[in-house]
Chain A
Amino acid sequence: MNDEASPVKGLLISPIRSGTVIDHITAGEALNVLKILGITGSTTESLSVATNVASHRMEKKDIVKIENRELRKEEVDRIALIAPQAKINIIREYLVVEKKGVEIPKILRGVVRCPNPGCITNTNEPVESTFEVLEKGLHCLYCDWWIKTDIAGHII
């Protein structure tokens, strides 16, 4: 096994048997990654989170390990919004069986809340917030509002 494929060494965070390792998260964004994945204090996943781990590729990075859960493609792609360099490793019996990068989706549904208080998606209507992802930011497809900074702060 080369270094990339092996479980992260050291005492900070131990290997998992099966589940998902999200590595190379932009330092400081681990908690937002959990938020995107809908993991809160009241969910039952067995989790390990390490922040500001030394990395030769990124200087500092965060790592999240989730036991017994293999992330779906849509979940993974949301992470790209705040951690474009993140790498997802699916682990079975301590081995990396699948390894993928994150890809920024073209359309985000139900991921970020529209900052426009007058937007119809901020009412009790049965629709999800919908943003198109463009180079200069996120564009609300209902009210034309833009989110250009602090995307993490608008995540639902």
Chain B
Amino acid sequence: MTNHIISIRDYTRRDIDYLLERAGEFDTRTYDRHALEEKLLALLFFEPSTRTRMSFETAMARLGGKSISVDSVEASSIVKGETLADTIRVVSGYADAIVLRHPKEGAARLASEFATVPVINAGDGAGQHPSQTLLDLYTIRQSMPIDGINVGMLGDLRYGRTAHSLAYALSLYGATIHTIAPGGLELPANILHELRERGMEVIQHDDVSDIVAELDVLYVTRIQRERFPDSASYYNVASSYRITPDLLEDVQEHLMVLHPLPRAGEIDSGVDGLPYARYFEQSRNGVPVRMALLHEVMK
């Protein structure tokens, strides 16, 4: 039996709390730096994501383990014509765990069926990216209990998998979600339906200034230029979904502005120095969270 990490939807609140608890232990200076000394991690990235890859490599190195990796360019030439299933079977013979990033949705689920070692999903297409969600939750929990909070989600909520996955997880904590998305980039109807079925209150807003004063967390996601027919319509939309210091004038003192990064102008750099800006800390939290995951699957 192996222990895969594929989708946040596979987890109960108890599982998530446990992982966040573990991440907290790795966020101290007292963890065992040799915990994964004998272990080798394979990072298979069929799509570029330097940040996520480095974060897993760092986590592995901090636990004394070693990593081997294939980046997107190598991956596309090495495995030309080979199925992902075969690649996974081969790499299972080398490493003690596999971190997979792949452009197709469901790729990590498939990999878990063929792997003889644990598979950790580091993003599959527009699908799941569970370690991102865990680090988002971890960051929130550093400042406040997650239960019942008001979370604003701003940006591309249609294609933004980090927002979808976070919304599912937050539904386990009785949180309320306020969505603010440009026309055509709203939360997909089936996700909205499922969240409501899970008992979550999801409220749609046209303008972030209508709701920002009530929020505990404002989760901003990137609006991708390629979703728009021309750059004029992109700039039009992008400029009206922009977080500026002015907008944050009357917010709650403990408001946290998060962003999975990289940002593309959604958050004005003037916000960076305000106490609400927590996105760099959020990014840093990827390391203890991934240490917890790696330790969990390979210990």
Contact = CB atoms under 8 A, between A and B. Distances in A.
Interface in B85-135: 85, 102-107, 109-110, 113, 124-128
B239 interface: no
A125 to B, nearest CB: 5
B171 to A, nearest CB: 15
A144 interface: yes
Contact of B125 (A124, A126, A140, A143): A143
A142 B83 contact: no
Contact of A146 (B105, B127, B190): B190
B9 A120 contact: no
B16 interface: no
Contacts of A42: none
- Tier of interface size on chain A: 10 to 19
A121 interface: yes
A142 B193 CA distance: 19
B84 interface: yes
B105 to A, nearest CB: 4
Interface residues of B, number: 21
B85 A126 contact: yes
Q: What secondary structure prevails in chain A residues at the interface with B?
A: loop
A144 B127 contact: yes
Contacts of B125: 118, 143
Given A118-B125, A127-B113, A142 B105 contact: yes
B190 A120 contact: no
Given A124-B83, A125-B85, A126-B85, A141 B109 contact: yes
Contacts, number: 51
Interface in B159-213: 190, 193
Contacts of B102: 120
Contacts of B113: 127
Interface of B is mostly: mixed
Contact of B105 (A118, A126, A127): A118
A120 B107 CA distance: 6
Interface string A132-156: 0000100011111110000000000
A20 B182 CA distance: 55
B83 A120 contact: no
A118 B128 CA distance: 13
A144 B85 contact: no
Contacts of B83: 123-126
A77 to B, nearest CB: 23
A116 interface: yes
23 contacts: A118-B103, A118-B104, A118-B105, A118-B125, A118-B126, A120-B106, A120-B110, A120-B124, A123-B83, A123-B84, A124-B83, A125-B84, A125-B85, A126-B83, A127-B110, A136-B193, A141-B106, A142-B109, A143-B105, A143-B125, A144-B9, A144-B127, A145-B105
Interface of B: 7, 9, 83-85, 102-107, 109-110, 113, 124-128, 190, 193
